[in-house]
Structure 1
Amino acid sequence: MNYKEIYNQKLLDIEGVLSKIESGDSLVVGMAAAEPVGLLSNLHLIKDSVQDVTVVSCLLLMEYEYYKHVDKEHSPFRSETWYLGNYERALFKEGKATYIPNNLHMAATDLMQARRVNIYCGSATPMDNKGCMSLALGNVYEKDILEHADMVILEINENLPRTHGDTVVHINDVDFLYEYNAPLIEVPSAEASEVEKKIGEFIADLIENGSTIQLGIGGIPNAIAQFLTDKKELGVHTELMTEGIVDLIEAGVITNSQKSLWKDKCIASFVMGTQRLYDFVDNNLAVEVHRGRIVNDPYIVAKNKKMVSINTALSVDLTGQVCSEAFGHQQYTGTGGQLDMHRGAIMSEGGKAIIAMRSSVKNDTISTIVPTLAQGSFVTIPRHDVDYIITEYGVAHLRGRSLRERTLEMIRIAHPNFRDYLKTEAEKLGFI
């Protein structure tokens, strides 16, 4: 079979691709570094010919012209997201976007039971001589949506790395393609502050040799990597593959040799970082990208012995309720895979679930440890699921503890400026 001929029959220019989008369509696009830059950069060109096209996204990394034409109703485009990046957050604050509550491993499944997905558009590598392309940098929800959408459009970018795992898409399963060789979106690692380094040191003390770890992105995860250099035979099972993981692999710390699941391989559902990271995962048999439905399933996560999940939070109350996604009722990010990984780690044999955060913000004027969560706050991790809470002042192990014990532990790791206040409030609430 001549796959190149089939490819050419399905190949369109960007105008041809845009002509496939109709009023009322639900358009799901690839996530983060896997977003289809060409389509999104040109989507505004059809603003006068469509109405109520819903763009479903997750952590968009670039500013696009079509944002100017988004509104909740009677507009060319609507915006819905599973996780607010900077650009979706700006739309949300203006009342022009809405959030889809989700646990990441169920994001695609839940969306598809709620509505019909008319079009999926994501990025992929050029086709090989077997008719196959790789979804490259993202498979959180991408392949699940792709397999059920009415129409599949792929943006072919020769700069994308070819990743292994469950990223293969065959030309026969694609309706249309277009070529757009844009530079890959790079997200440099955040520099760890002195406070974050202290937190990283506490976390590293909890990680045993032979553990399997999940690291997020930001200063705290980067700080953790700095303090893991004396560890041995760590493994990786993570939602996000980051540059810090590459550092630890090159230092000989991460070997994946002791993993009980996917031995000898790093497992992730999406990749985001700099070109160094993208070059590292390119055709690397020791790295596999699988569906978020699999990677983040708590029961699959739990099959990794000594699984350690490390996530951050915006605020935690004295009983251990964790809010990682909002300020009061104002959505800021999203649940993402935090609760998935957290629960999986708790169920793991010898596992640990860690929530790490600064004890205060805004020059130590606001405590992140609070008597009760602000009114309207969304609980990301319920208090009955919480395990370890860490600040720069120490480690509070709350799992199995009484309300009194939890309260005293949380006050102990709070910023000194707020400990007396928290104790007074705790007494008023009857916690101690």
Structure 2
Amino acid sequence: MTAQQQYSAKLREAGDAVDLIENGSAIVAPTGVGEPPTILEALSENRTEFRGVTVSQILPLRPFGYLDPDTVEHVRHVAYFLGGPTRPGAQAGWVDYYPSYFSEMPALFREGLLPADVVVAMASPMDKHGYFSIGLTPDYTMAALERAKVVILEVNPGVPYCYGHCHVHIDQVDAIVEDDRPLLEVGLPTIGPVQEAIAGHVADLIPDGATLQIGYGGIPDAVVMQLLEKRDLGVHTEMIGDGILSLVEAGVVTNRRKNVSPGSMRATFGLGTRKLYDYMDHNPALEMHPVDITNDPYLAGSHDNLHSINGTMQIDLLGQCGSESLGVKPYSGTGGQSDFVRASNRSRGGKAFIVLPSTAKGDTISRIVPTLSPGTHVSTSKNDIDHVATEFGVVRLRGLSARERARALIGIAHPDFRAELTEQAEKLHLI
């Protein structure tokens, strides 16, 4: 049977495709915009026909109907990383979550420690050789595909066909659903004066020829906007977005000076606008790979001059970062922050930046604190922390004693809180 004949035989309506899902199945969906809306809507509409089914992914973007506390015995979300639609459920207790480093998720699937009975994913149209690209999000999805008993692809002409290890052959697919709705678009975050000030401190420390990992958020994207005068930057990152694309268009990112995969960028998921998705399509200057290739600290750290930029919500005077919870309340997830902090620390000439505004809630709360709020999930440890930047400056904590760290962090705290932080540091015998 030819590839096209197989395609025709496997083409189904979404409701018929989800009939392949058995009770008790663990469904894996890709990160963000790679989630297949037609399939997950059909699952939602028929959720009471199932029992004991779970759906897991990183950063869900749509409030699907199965995200319902009244039907969790039928279909429950178990998150790898929370998004807006799943955060309330996690904080209320009816959405569960898996803690893990992003880079280690493929190994967890292969070892059977994370379940993957069914994979559902967005895919590009099939090429003449019978291959689809899931280049928007190969992340952990490629490893889950190896374990899955059922694979259902949602083919959309708007999904870019990417290069790298991100292809699925028709032989691996059990059902195909077609849809042509526009892909979700996520624009750049709002950038204000605080973000610009923080970005300025970081940008000054990024040399020409550096290789970048840029996290999502207003401050990382503000840094991007202040790199337009740099030369020959490279990209090896977790997420590629419109911020990095703007550096490519400006001729700032050339990848010429990368000592690993020179001439091309590597990422594990795309999240941006239609302009980005068009750029990703059939572009030999970009490779989309699973996350154990992009985020593994050893592999990523083999890049010279790797500079990573990621945000946090709170940091204590030892340098511990709480980036994924508000006290005991889960907010996001582990993600790749720790992966790239450790990678940058390994990199020859590398730097890892953790960035945050000095305050929250209208300057009434300091984000630099004596100790993390009780129950806070530690994302980057005191042993891994390198540079920290607020709008009041940037300090390097790596290699400093506890006493020196406390003084350095108090120095970039908001002036209104420095006296209080000093008093608390004295009580803790840090200074």
Shorter-chain TM range is over 0.9
Q: Secondary structure at the match of 2:41?
A: helix
- The answer on 1:82 being equivalent to 2:80 is yes
For structure 2, the 5+ residue unaligned runs are none
1:329–1:377 CA contact under 8 A, matched in 2: yes
Q: How does 1:319-334 map to 2 (within 5 A)?
A: 319-334=318-333
Q: How does 1:332-411 map to 2 (within 5 A)?
A: 332-411=331-410
- The answer on 1:20 being equivalent to 2:20 is yes
Query: Match for 2:131: what amino acid?
Result: C
Where does residue 10 of structure 2 map in the other structure?
10
Aligned length: 430
Partner deviation per Cα, 1:226-266 (whole Å, 9 max, x = no partner) = 21111110000000001011111111111000001111111
Where does residue 317 of structure 1 map in the other structure?
316
Where does residue 302 of structure 2 map in the other structure?
303
Question: Aligned equivalents of 2:187 and 2:88: distance in 1?
Answer: 21
Where does residue 44 of structure 1 map in the other structure?
44
Question: Aligned equivalents of 1:166 and 1:110: distance in 2?
Answer: 18
1:399 to 1:116, Cα distance in 2 relative to 1, 3 A: closer
Q: How does 1:235-250 map to 2 (within 5 A)?
A: 235-250=234-249
Question: Aligned equivalents of 1:13 and 1:242: distance in 2?
Answer: 32
Partner deviation per Cα, 1:336-382 (whole Å, 9 max, x = no partner) = 00000110000000000110000001110000000001111111111
Where does residue 172 of structure 1 map in the other structure?
171
Question: Aligned equivalents of 1:351 and 1:11: distance in 2?
Answer: 48
1:333 to 1:16, Cα distance in 2 relative to 1, 3 A: same
Q: Secondary structure at the match of 2:228?
A: coil
Q: Secondary structure at the match of 1:123?
A: strand
2:26–2:117 CA contact under 8 A, matched in 1: yes
Where does residue 198 of structure 2 map in the other structure?
199
Question: Aligned equivalents of 2:319 and 2:304: distance in 1?
Answer: 25
1:123 to 1:70, Cα distance in 2 relative to 1, 3 A: farther
Query: Match for 2:85: what amino acid?
Result: Y
Where does residue 110 of structure 1 map in the other structure?
108
1:115 to 1:207, Cα distance in 2 relative to 1, 3 A: closer
Question: Aligned equivalents of 1:310 and 1:54: distance in 2?
Answer: 33
Question: Aligned equivalents of 2:12 and 2:70: distance in 1?
Answer: 26
Query: Match for 1:20: what amino acid?
Result: L
Partner deviation per Cα, 1:193-218 (whole Å, 9 max, x = no partner) = 10000001001011011000001122
Q: How does 1:34-183 map to 2 (within 5 A)?
A: 34-68=34-68, 75-111=73-109, 113-183=112-182
Cα RMSD (Å): 1.2
Question: Aligned equivalents of 2:277 and 2:203: distance in 1?
Answer: 26
Partner deviation per Cα, 1:257-277 (whole Å, 9 max, x = no partner) = 000111111110000011111
Question: Aligned equivalents of 1:382 and 1:39: distance in 2?
Answer: 39
Cα distance, 1:71 vs structure 2: 5.4
1:71–1:79 CA contact under 8 A, matched in 2: no
2:388–2:397 CA contact under 8 A, matched in 1: yes
1:115 to 1:414, Cα distance in 2 relative to 1, 3 A: closer
Partner deviation per Cα, 1:18-76 (whole Å, 9 max, x = no partner) = 2112211111112101001111122122223111111112101111112125655xx21
1:37–1:182 CA contact under 8 A, matched in 2: no
Cα distance, 1:118 vs structure 2: 1.4
Question: Aligned equivalents of 1:265 and 1:423: distance in 2?
Answer: 47
Please report the TM-score for the alignment, with normalisation by the length of structure 2: 0.98
Question: Aligned equivalents of 1:412 and 1:422: distance in 2?
Answer: 10
1:376 to 1:111, Cα distance in 2 relative to 1, 3 A: farther
1:234 to 1:201, Cα distance in 2 relative to 1, 3 A: same
2:117–2:147 CA contact under 8 A, matched in 1: no
Query: Match for 2:80: what amino acid?
Result: W
Query: Match for 1:77: what amino acid?
Result: V
1:216–1:242 CA contact under 8 A, matched in 2: no
1:228 to 1:115, Cα distance in 2 relative to 1, 3 A: closer
Partner deviation per Cα, 1:399-419 (whole Å, 9 max, x = no partner) = 010111101000000001100
1:225 to 1:23, Cα distance in 2 relative to 1, 3 A: same
- Name segments (4+ residues, structure 1) moved above 6 Å: none
Q: Secondary structure at the match of 2:120?
A: strand
Query: Match for 1:81: what amino acid?
Result: A
1:10–1:175 CA contact under 8 A, matched in 2: yes
2:55–2:75 CA contact under 8 A, matched in 1: yes
1:44–1:69 CA contact under 8 A, matched in 2: no
Query: Match for 2:146: what amino acid?
Result: E
Question: Aligned equivalents of 1:220 and 1:203: distance in 2?
Answer: 10
Quick one: percent identity of the two aligned structures?
Answer: 39
